């Protein structure tokens, strides 16, 4: 069945460092891909999405490109801030279901 695999966390970075969180997926169809973020004490929020191959989703300085050839959707940000500390979830939507990866915790230190 469909599945999403993310890199293990926690990821600890200094402020202004470059961020990459890896995400790969397995799907039988042509899914849409998403990154959700969960800030401490808050609900899940949609960060960005891409609906077809080679699409790039972007929001708040974060970017991810839908790579069909490598079945990947890696999240990147050029310069992280302390306020980016959160848990990040990669997800795919296929056949009416939204399926999540296990989440990656990001800690940004000043």
Question: Considering only residues 96, 106, 109, 110, which one is a binding residue for other proteins as defined by CB under 8 A?
Answer: 96
Look up residue 17 and give its DSSP letter.
-
Buried b (16+ CB within 10 A) or exposed e, 20-44: ebbbbbebeeebbbbbbbbeeeeee
Query: Considering beta carbons, is residue 17 or 58 the nearer one to other proteins?
Result: 58
Instruction: Compose the 26-65 pattern: x for residues touching other proteins by CB under 8 A, - for all others.
Output: -----xx---------xxxxx--x-x--------------
Query: Considering beta carbons, is residue 42 or 69 the nearer one to other proteins?
Result: 42
């Amino acid at each position: 069945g469909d599945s999403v695999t993310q890199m293990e966390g926690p990821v600890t970075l200094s402020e202004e460092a470059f961020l990459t969180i890896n995400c790969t997926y397995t799907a039988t169809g042509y899914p849409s891909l998403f990154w959700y973020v969960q800030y401490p004490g808050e609900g899940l929020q949609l960060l960005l999405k891409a609906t077809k191959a080679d699409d790039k989703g972007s929001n708040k300085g974060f970017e991810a490109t839908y790579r069909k050839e490598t079945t990947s959707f890696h999240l990147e940000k050029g310069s992280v801030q302390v306020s980016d500390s959160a848990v990040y979830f990669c997800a795919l939507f296929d056949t009416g279901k939204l399926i999540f990866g296990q989440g990656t915790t990001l800690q940004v230190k000043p």
